[in-house]
Amino acid sequence: MIDTIDNNALLRNDVKKLGNILGEILVHHGGIELFNKVESIREMTKSIRKEYNEETYKRLKEEINLLKPPTRQQVIRAFSIYFHLINIAEQNHRIRRRRQYLLQDQGSQSFSLENAVSKVKDYDLSNEIIQQVLNELSIELIITAHPTEATKRTVLEIQKRISTILQKFDNPMTTRKERKFLEESLFNEVTALWQTDELRHRKPEVLDEVRNGLYYFDQTLFDTLPSIHQELELQLQEHLPDNNWEVPNFIHFGSWIGGDRDGNPNVTPEITWKTLQMQRELVLKKYDEAIVDLMKRFSHSTYRITISEQFIETVQREEPVYLEEEEKWPIESEIYRRKFAIVLKRLREVGKSELGYQHAEELLNDLIQIKECSEKHQPAQKKMKEIRTLIRQVQLFGFHLATLDIRNHSGEHESAVNEILHAVNVTKNYSELTEEEKLNILGKVLSDPRPLLLFEEAYTIETQKVLKVFRMIKNAHAEFGKRSIEVYLISMTQSASDLLEVLLLAKEAGIYRLHSNGKVESDLHVAPLLETIDDLIAGPNIMRTLFEMDVYRNHLSVRDNHQEIMLGYSDGSKDGGTLTANWKLFKAQQEIHNMAREYNIRLKFFHGRGGSLGRGGGSLNTSILSQPVETLGDGVKITEQGEVLSSRYLLEDIAYRNLEQAASALFEACVRVSAAPGQDHFRKKEWETAMENISTESLKKYQSLVFGDKDFLTYFNQATPLKELGALNIGSRPMSRKNSQRFEDLRAIPWVFAWTQSRQMIPAWYAAGTGLQLFIEQDPGNLKMLQSMYKEWPFFHSTVNNLQMALMKADMKTAKEYLNLVEDQTIADRIYKDISDEYYRTRAALLQISGNEELLAHTPNIRESVHRRNPYVDPLNFLQVDLIHQLRETENPSEELVTEVLLTINGVAAGLVNTG
């Protein structure tokens, strides 16, 4: 085992090194007075955290209240930037720990591909079964533009450069001269961080968000994805050498950015089209760079080796077709370079002329032809790695880079269908019909090959916009390939008719086609998004209704009997609390999966998880393992949102480790199911009954506060920085659907973000304690049952650990400061007491169940990280309360005051490594 103490010493050394540089910068920019002020506040907060003292607490508050511009802003920035530096140091430490594992021959790291293959070997299954599991593996990760990334890309790029420098310090071969250079470079980068404006001065537009998403493909994902697949192939070959293993491309990235229309009027068909163009431009650029590099490597000469005559003839035949005389490779004997010249020309003409590749498969065939020819004059056991990597990249990314999901609200579709059906006298008011009547009409219309649409100007602007989206999808399939847009997601799906309405709109655009001879063509998956607790409960009946309809089964039959269903973690949690929402999500998957098996339909569940714990956050591997194990074989799809993108995919080593953990978890779990088919893995019926009871009580408690207390919304609006978040300019979407002030229309992201800032974090834990404690008190044996569930059931283990993490980041003492912002102190005190009591109730229950003496005692690295940050987050919270109070009391606040408030929000987000 790695020496943890020594490891943490290296981390502390990095933190100290970066902190000392920041101290120098503070002295340079604000004099010794600024440095002393920051140090004084830092020492007092550390002292209070170590041992609370009322006198020190009062002195700290007084010190903070006496701060005035411009010193106040510099103090805020000092603490905020310190968090950015801690984040970098901890990321670097993760990379260091992984490298030490690889260097020390002491067994494989948990959730590594080597570890997964070792476990798979122990199951003693045939190679055929293992290969079959591999063939069915599927992980799709969907990047989104959900506005939870508070850090600007410029700042992220500085962080990346600092991380690279820190890694170089670990090299024992670094000379004194090189170390001196690294120290100077590190100082320059931290200085740049201090001198960079961390706030956005305008809301990002959709295409800005597209560029931000593409950054991760360019920097890490394009190279990391093939590496994961190649490593799994290598491990299988080493541990199970009696088979020629082929690992298919089972990890794919998709995107919502530029396709997610729900509540975002800025995402137009034109923007979606531009997004697809930008994605294609990037992937073609990456292929271009790779092929230019391969041309340098493939200098093989026909004077030195024998190359297939057929290959040479193909090149000779193609050169005059695709190349002008001056474009041909000048050295005739370098046959591969002559071929690559043709490939490059065709690649650079994609989308521009008929000379260009029409489909990615044509490029793929050319590369495979070169690979197969070149490997004939290589030793059989030695593969041409570089060209194999490019082949896998083309298979993974095509000419579309990432499949773009389209999402819109069910109400938009119903309104358009209502108008279309009225215009052709099918029904006067479709929207007022019963669900049974709607299904009857939609079934008939979809069973008729004839179109319904009149001239476009016959419809309202709103309907024309909806129709334009479907026409754009049809055109995108022709221009970018059918992989460019494969799924249409329906927000707020509440009935079967919501899916058939989308199918009808697809039919009118020619995406779904019924021929006169009965043949069906369908080029788009139609996926419901089940979000609220009620929708999750209704989900099985919604899908059963569809599976019983011939018209929908005909659509599925040409989509390989494959149905995607998205599960929303955010709105369910906002609606019913995190514990109830997670349990209802688990149950919905079980019930829909079992029901779909009756119809021989394969389901893929799409988990709409956020980055924060209140929106289903957590590591990818624990997210995967916490699902009903029987659903994993059909594939997993998960959103990667906001700050998750930078924390997981900014650095190549971290990106690799994150994807390796996900791949190893899924592979091993699916093999385990194959080894014992039909068994109830991990859980027991009495455990599910227990969860049902706990969930019921938790839901009552949650809703009694959020919906039952008439003063709750007043408390939420005043005791959190909700109003101030809108000015942070971190996303193109409005904070509320329909720009409404109603709680139902408030998006889950600002809901979680606001509670996180005030350190109450109730979306991530509130009401869980009541459910757990009541169950423990019901029977003397119940605590022992919960302890067994924690040890043996990944779903419950993950749930309890996420609750522990939430309570670690929450802080009731700091949260109490925000009561000063509530106008009616009676309301403030009463609701805060309820939240505080529930906090300690939840904490006590979790410690009993986990057997820990302290929260997260089983994960000392994470626990230490939270403790390392807390003393530095506190001053920002105190400052935030003071500044928000001034802001709300001032009729025309200064720009400086608004900026200071936003800087505290940014700083707290960086300190907690969570926003929404």
Structure confidence by residue, pLDDT tens digits, 800-825? 999 999 999 899 999 999 999 999 99
CA angle 692, 697, 702 (to 5 degrees): 120
Taking CB atoms within 8 Å and a gap of at least 24, the contacts of 207-210 are: 207/258, 207/271, 207/274, 207/275, 207/278, 208/732, 209/145, 209/257, 209/258, 209/731, 209/732, 210/145, 210/257, 210/258, 210/274, 210/275, 210/278
pLDDT at 629 over 90: no
Q: Is residue 363 part of a domain?
A: yes
- Region 447-466: mean pLDDT is 91
- CA 806-807-808 angle, to 5 degrees, is 90
> 311 in a domain, yes or no?
yes
* Range in 42-51, 140-149, 279-288, 522-531 with the lowest mean pLDDT: 140-149
Catalytic site residue from 413, 555, 574, 809: 574
- Confidence (pLDDT) at 610: 60
Domain edge (last residue) among 397, 419, 443: 397
Whole-number Å distance between alpha carbons of 873 and 5: 25
Please tell me the number of Cα atoms within 13 Å of 420 on its side-chain side.
26
Higher-confidence position of 396 and 102: 396
Per the CB < 8 A criterion, the answer to whether 134 and 250 are in contact is yes
Does residue 305 form part of some domain? yes
Which amino acid is located at 159 in the chain?
Q
Tell me whether residue 885 is one of the annotated catalytic residues. Answer: no
With bands split at pLDDT 50, 70 and 90, how would you rate the model's confidence at 634? confident
pLDDT grade for 701, boundaries at 50, 70 and 90: very high
Catalytic site residue from 93, 146, 438, 525? 146
The CATH number that applies at residue 358 is: 1.20.1440.90
In a domain, 832, yes or no: yes
Residue 725, pLDDT score: 81
The confidence score (pLDDT) of residue 611 equals 52
Mean pLDDT of 662-687: 81
- Amino acid 682: pLDDT: 55
Amino acid (one-letter) located at 485: I
| Domain encompassing residue 705 | 685-912
37 in active site: no
pTM comes to 0.90
Half-sphere exposure of 663 (CA within 13 A, CB side): 29
Residue type present at position 594: N
Residue 914 has pLDDT above 60, yes or no: no
Q: Which of 908, 840, 916, 848 is nearest to 874 (CA)?
A: 908
Structural domains counted in the chain: 2
pLDDT band at 378; cut points 50, 70, 90: confident
Last residue of a domain, which of 397, 418, 447? 397
Mean pLDDT of 361-365: 97
Is 881 among the domain residues? Answer: yes
Closest CA to 209 of 776, 729, 778: 729
666 domain residue, yes or no? no
Q: What is the pLDDT of residues 203-242, one digit of tens each?
A: 788 999 999 999 999 999 999 999 999 999 999 999 999 9
Q: Would you say 342 and 318 are in contact if contact means Cβ atoms under 8 Å apart?
A: yes
Region 315-343 average pLDDT: 96
pLDDT tens sequence across 111-138 = 899 999 999 999 989 999 999 999 999 9
Q: For strand 251-255 and strand 139-144, is the pairing parallel, antiparallel, or unpaired?
A: parallel
In a domain, 470, yes or no: no
Query: What pLDDT, on the 0 to 100 scale, is given for residue 377?
Result: 87
Distance of CA 504 to the CA centre of its chain: 31
**Which residues, in sequence order, are bridge partners of residue 207?**
none
Predicted confidence (pLDDT) at residue 732 exceeds the cutoff of 80: no
Does the pLDDT at position 916 exceed 50?
Answer: no
Is residue 516 one of the residues assigned to a domain?
no
Scan for tokens 């670990």, then name that residue: 170
By CB atoms closer than 10 A (0-12, 13-18, 19+), residue 397 is: buried
Q: Pairing mode, if any, of strands 520-522 and 525-530? A: unpaired
| pLDDT score recorded for residue 2 | 42
Choosing from 397, 424, 450, the residue where a domain stops is 397
At 5 the pLDDT is: 45
- Tell whether the model's pLDDT for residue 746 goes beyond 90: no
Question: Distance between CA 770 and CA 694 in Å, rounded?
Answer: 8
For the cut 60, the answer to whether the pLDDT of residue 146 exceeds it is: no
Strand partners, 639: 142
pLDDT tens-digit profile of 414-447?
999 999 999 999 999 999 999 999 999 999 999 9
The pLDDT of residue 19: 94
Which is more confidently placed, 308 or 285? 285
Q: Does the pLDDT at position 680 exceed 70? A: no
